[in-house]
Amino acid sequence: MKTGLTWKGFQWILETINWKESVNMNEDVIKESNPKDAIGCSKVAFSTVSAPVIAEVAVGMLEGAIKYGRHNYRAIGVRSSIYYDATLRHLTAWWEGEDVDPDSGLSHITKAITSLVVLRDAMLRDKMVDDRPPGTLDFIKSLNQKTKELLDKYEEHKQPFTHEDVDGPDTYRG
């Protein structure tokens, strides 16, 4: 299964987001004395990704390398359900108020991102065993419509309660 982005798809993304305005790139920013600017600004912009998050993910990947062998997922592949489950476990733990994974000491968000990095890498290399169940087409679209109907029906809905309502705004939970 090929899952990479095509050049045509990449061009569509650039046109859709009007990339020159979104990165504040115009002719005035490109130095006439440096032809590399004109070429470099149309290549992958790694500078748009948070360096601290990349560093945290690197530590998460190191944990996996120590436990399972570096790049094991590239050699032996992965089952999609395992990484889907791991991602949702970490997101659920975070959502329920546990900020840090007790096994690694890393943020549950970082652990979820790390799981998705492994899954995506396996997809790009055709090393993912796709054990997803048969799909339910358009179910999100229909649920979004139902959500809109409920919001319209109950225009003056109650505000949600958050951890600040229970713990107070200055309670550290991390």
- How would residue 167 be classed by pLDDT, with cut points 50, 70 and 90? confident
Does pLDDT of 30 surpass 70?
Answer: no
- How would residue 86 be classed by pLDDT, with cut points 50, 70 and 90? very high
> Hey, what are 153's tokens?
């029906």
What average pLDDT does the structure give for the chain? Answer: 85
Please state the pTM of the whole predicted model: 0.72
Q: What is the pLDDT of residue 41?
A: 78
Place of tokens 């998460």: 60
Q: What is the pLDDT of residue 16?
A: 66
For 86, residues 6+ apart whose C-beta sits below 8 A from its C-beta are 111, 112, 115
Q: What is the pLDDT of residue 22?
A: 55
Report yes or no: 104 and 63 within 8 Å, Cβ to Cβ: yes
Q: Could you give the percent of the chain with pLDDT greater than 90?
A: 60
Report yes or no: 126 and 73 within 8 Å, Cβ to Cβ: no
Beta-carbon neighbour count of residue 174 at 10 Å?
7
Does pLDDT of 149 surpass 70?
Answer: yes
Beta-carbon neighbour count of residue 164 at 10 Å?
10
Q: What is the pLDDT of residue 33?
A: 64
Q: d(Cα 57, Cα 110) in Å, to the nearest integer?
A: 6
